[in-house]
Structure 1
Amino acid sequence: MTSPDPVPQIALNDGRSIPQLGFGVWRLPEGETPSIVGTALGSGYRSIDTAAAYDNEAGVGRGLRETVVPRSDVFVTTKLWNDSQGYDATLRAFDASLKRLGLDAIDLYLIHWPCPDRNLYLESWRALIRLREEGRAASIGVSNFTEGQLDRLVAETGVTPALNQIELHPHFQQRRLRAAHERLGIVTEAWSPLGQSHSLGAPAIARIADRLGRTAAQVVLRWHIENGFVAIPKSATPARIHENIDVFGFSLTAEDHAAIANLDRADGRIGPDPETFQ
C-alpha cells in the first residue's frame, strides 16, 4: 500500500531537503520497531525519526535492512542524548548510534535537548559541525532549542542549524519561536504534532473533519503541512500509520486556519520545558 500522493520535500539551509511528513518511533518497543518501520515505509513514508534515548535505533536499522525500499530513498534522523553532551562525548555517542543503526552515515543528527544548566550544547554543536564536515552527518540541527540558544550557536560558530524539532500542535503553536526560525532560515519540525491526541478532541477540529470527511488527525496534520512545518506523527497501528500519510488530497480554508489558530494556549505545553529539562 502506498500513499495516494507523494510527500513534499522541505528545503534545508544547507542545500539538502527533508520529507515534510515523517514517521516517529518514540516509545516503540525495540522488538516491534522493525515491523512497524516496515509498515511505515510500505505506506509511503520516506523519513524515519529516532533517537539514542528511544532505545530502538537497532530496531530502526533492522527495519531499514529488511525493507525493499532502498536506503538512499529514506531520510534517517537520530539524536544525541543529554548525558552525552560535550565535544568528545558527542563524537562517541554518534559512533554508538551509527553502530546500533548499522549505517555508515545519518541524514540528520540533532542535539536532543539544550540542557542549559550543563552548558555543553555549544561544544556538542562544534562536534556536529565536524561530523557534517566529515560527511557522516549529512545535515545537522537541534531539538527543543530556544531563540536565545539558537542565536548563540550561530553567533559563536557561524553555522546555523538546518532544523529545530520542537513541541508544536494546535494547543501549543510556538509563534514566537517559529518567527525566530524564519529569521534564521531554520526549518520548523513538530514533535507530538497531534498533541499526544489532546488536540484531536477539540470541537473546532471535529467540525472541520466532519465537513471534509476526514479524521481529526488528518486535519491536524494537514494544518502542519499547510503551515510549512515538518511533522513526524507516531503510531503502532497499521491503519493509523496509513491514515496519517493520506493528507495530501484535500485543503483547509482560511476559516479553518483561523479556527485552529484560536486553539493556541499559553499553558498548552505537554512536554518538558527546555529551559529547565536536564
Structure 2
Amino acid sequence: MFGFNSTKFSNPSTFILMGVPGLEDLHIWISIPFSLMYVVALLGNILTIFIIKTKPVLHEPMFYFLSMLAVTDLILSTSTLPKMLGIFWFSSHKIDFHACLTQMFFIHAFSAVESGLLVAMALDRYVAICNPLRHTSILTNSVVIQVGAVALLRGLVLMTPHPFLVGMWPYCRTNVVPHTYCEHMAVVKLACADITINSLYSLAVIMFIVGTDVTCISLSYVHIFRAVFNLPSKDARLKTLSTCGSHVCVILTFYIPALFSFLTHRFSAQIPRHIHILLANMYLLVPPMLNPIIYGVRTKQIRDCVLQLFNTKVN
C-alpha cells in the first residue's frame, strides 16, 4: 500500500510513517477522538498557564510546578498530533529524516521532564504537609526555578544520545516506520546493524528515570501519610489528604499508560501491533488532556479562578 522501499541506502532522506498498521481504513474514525483530545489538551493547558500567570493568589510553588507541567504537556502533544492528523486526514506519510529524529528527541525528552516535574510536585506536597511552617521559606521562587531546571536538564541530557544513536546506523531494508510517530524502537529496528546499544541504553534510561522518580514519589507519600494519620481529627486528615488527590490522579494517568505501553511493546509479542501503537498514542495524549481537567475540578483555587474568569466575561 505504501510502496515499501527496498532500495539500498544508508541514510534515507525521508521515512514513511504508516499510521496504525492494519487499521488504515479506520484512520478517519481514529482521528476523531485523537483530534478532540488534542483540542482539549491545548485549551486546558493554555487556560491553566493563563490562570496561574494572571491570578496572584495562585503564585505558589504547587501552581508554578503545575504551569511547568502544562507547558510540558503542550510540547508533548504538539510533537505528535499535528503530524499524526496529517497522516489520518491527508495521507501525509512522509517525514524528513532529521525531522523524525527531532520528533523522537522531543517526545522522549519531555516525557522524562514530565516525570521529573511529578517528583517536584510530590516534594511540594511533602514540604507543605510535613513542614507547613517552613513551606514558603524552603520552596522559594528561586528554588522552584532550580528544581524545574534540573527536571528539564535531566530529560534533555539523558535523551540527547537517542537521535544520535539512531542517526549513525545504516538503513538498507526499508524506510517505512510502522507507527504514527517516530518512536525510538520502531525506527531503530529498521537499521541493518546491531542495535543492542540502542536497546540497552533506552532500557537503562527508562529504568533509571522511572525507578528513581517512582521511588522518590513513594517515599514522599510514605512521610505524607504518616504525618496525615497523626493528625488528631478525621476532618483534618481528610482535608489534608484532599490536597494530594489531584497530584495522585496525575501520577496515575502518566505512569500507568506509560508503563503498560513500554512493557507490552518490549515483552509481549502476542499483542497485535495496532494495540501497541494505540497504547503508545494514549500515553502521549491522555495525560496532557486529563491533567488540566483533574486540577481544574479538584483544586478549589483554580476552580474558583476559572469560574471568576468566565463570570467576568459573561457580565
For the aligned pair, the TM-score class normalised by the smaller chain equals under 0.3
Q: Comparing both chains, which one has the higher relative contact order based on Cα–Cα distances under 8 Å and sequence gaps of 6 or more? A: 2
Q: TM-score, normalised by structure 1?
A: 0.23
Q: TM-score, normalised by structure 2?
A: 0.21
Higher-Rg member (1/2): 2
Q: Which has the higher strand share?
A: 1
Q: Which has the higher helix share?
A: 2
